[in-house]
């Protein structure tokens, strides 16, 4: 994955049809190594999901992964972000 990102200059913040970035998907799936790889490649920890405006940090907090929360906080993720939950 690292080689693909480096060789092809992939936009790591591209959103899926569901409105999530690769970082959000990695966080939700508990893939800490992939999340770190994406952050190292420049993924925006404050990118908001298209539907409800949640960030990767919000997903990490709700998924119960302290190492994921810590990694995002170390990357200066916005700790005061607010989602648009209905």
pLDDT at residue 44, rounded to an integer:
92
pLDDT of residue 83: 78
The pTM (predicted TM-score) of the whole model is: 0.81
Burial classification of residue 48, based on how many CB atoms lie within 10 Å of its CB (0-12 exposed, 13-18 middle, 19 or more buried): buried
The domain limits of the chain are 2-74
The third-level CATH classification (topology) of the domain covering 2-74 is: 1.25.40
- Which helix H or strand E contains 27, and what residues bound it? helix 22-28
User: Rounded to the nearest 10 degrees, how much is the dihedral formed by the CA atoms of 11, 27, 20, 12?
Assistant: 0
pLDDT in tens, the chain (86 residues): 666 666 776 788 889 999 999 999 999 998 888 998 899 888 999 998 888 888 988 888 888 678 888 888 888 887 878 877 65
């Amino acid at each position: 994955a690292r080689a693909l990102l480096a060789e092809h200059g992939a936009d790591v913040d591209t959103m899926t049809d569901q409105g999530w970035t690769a970082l959000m998907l990695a966080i939700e799936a508990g893939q800490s190594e992939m999340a770190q790889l994406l952050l190292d490649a420049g993924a925006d920890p404050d990118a908001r999901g298209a539907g409800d405006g949640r960030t990767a940090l919000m997903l990490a907090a709700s998924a119960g992964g302290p190492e994921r929360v810590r990694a995002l906080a170390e990357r200066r993720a916005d700790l005061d972000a607010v989602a648009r939950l209905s």
